[in-house]
Every structure is written in structure tokens, then in C-alpha cells.
Amino acid sequence: MVSSKLIIVFILPVIFSIIFGSAVMADILQKPDRELNMWPMSFSEGSSSHGSSLKIIGLSNQYLVTEPIEVQVKVTDSSFNCGDLYVTIHYSENNDVVSQGGFFDQCLENGDLFPINDKFSKIITVPGSYQMNVNIVSNDLSNISTSGIFTVK
């Protein structure tokens, strides 16, 4: 038979954790301005919670397999100060990720370009059509994103 110490030490904490966690989640989701967003980054073209524009600087329509893809990003939103920059290149046909880059704690000063004092630079050696998604998540967790399409020959 199972001893009462085993139930108190191992089983009761699990039951209480599940009950407490469910109660907290139910309370949070009852608030009208809350939602459960398990993947907060959005890669839809031109979406923005700041209502600003985000521009990819230096992205050409076509590259050679030996030519590096070097881009920077310009934010023209005066309310945006600091955040993290994410650059992802997808293969257009099957949406597989080819390359990713993350630049953290980027803060704008006098119209700087992201990444600060750097460039996103990758060489893609497989010819085809690609999509570049750029997403900036600000410190208040709002995001700005845009995308561009290019080919490699």
C-alpha cells in the first residue's frame, strides 16, 4: 500500500501545481485585453505595432552565388529606441530557413542603421528564389517587420 508520506511529498504538490497553474491561466485569459500568443514574432510584410516603416537597405533583386548579401535596416519611427533585430532568409519554394542572424540590444542614435556598426552578411551558394524577413522586437515587446524577395543565380 502507498504510504501517506509518499502521497504528501510527491503526489499532492503535483496536483496543487496543476490546479494553481490552471487557475492563474484562466484568470489571465479572462481579462479583455489579454491573449495567449505562444509565438509573438510576426513575419507578415509591413506589419507594425508602432505604425512606422521599416526599410531594408542594400537588398538587391539578384545576386550571384559568390556575392554576399549585405543589408542594413532603417527604422523611421521616432518612438522606437531599443530592441533586438532578427534577419531570416527562407527558401521561397518550401519556406525552409537558409540563414538567420540576431543582433541584440540595438539602440538608435541620430538615425543609425541596424545593426549598429555592423552589417548582416551571408553568402548563399544554391541558386533559387529567396525571401528575407526582418523583424525588430522593441524592449516593450512590440514588433516591426518587413520582408523582401531576391534571387540567387
What would the DSSP string read from start to end of the chain? ---HHHIIIIIHHHHHHHHHHHHHHHHHHHSTT----S------TT-BSS---EEEES--SEE-TTSEEEEEEEE--TT--EEEEEEEEEETTT--EEEEEEEEEEE--SSPPBSTT--EEEE--S-EEEEEEEEEEETTS-EEEEEEEEEE-
Say how many domains are in the chain.
2
The residue range of the domain holding 135 is: 54-152
Residue 10 lies in a domain: yes
Q: Which tens digits make up the pLDDT trace of 79-100? A: 677 888 899 999 888 888 888 8
Ranges 14-18, 27-31, 145-149: which has the least confidence: 27-31
Residues 61 and 1 in one domain: no
Residues 32 and 60 in one domain: no
Q: Which tens digits make up the pLDDT trace of 55-67? A: 888 899 999 999 9
Ranges 22-31, 49-58, 122-131: which has the least confidence: 49-58
Q: Which tens digits make up the pLDDT trace of 66-79? A: 999 999 888 877 66
Residue 91 lies in a domain: yes
Residue 46: its pLDDT value, please? 38
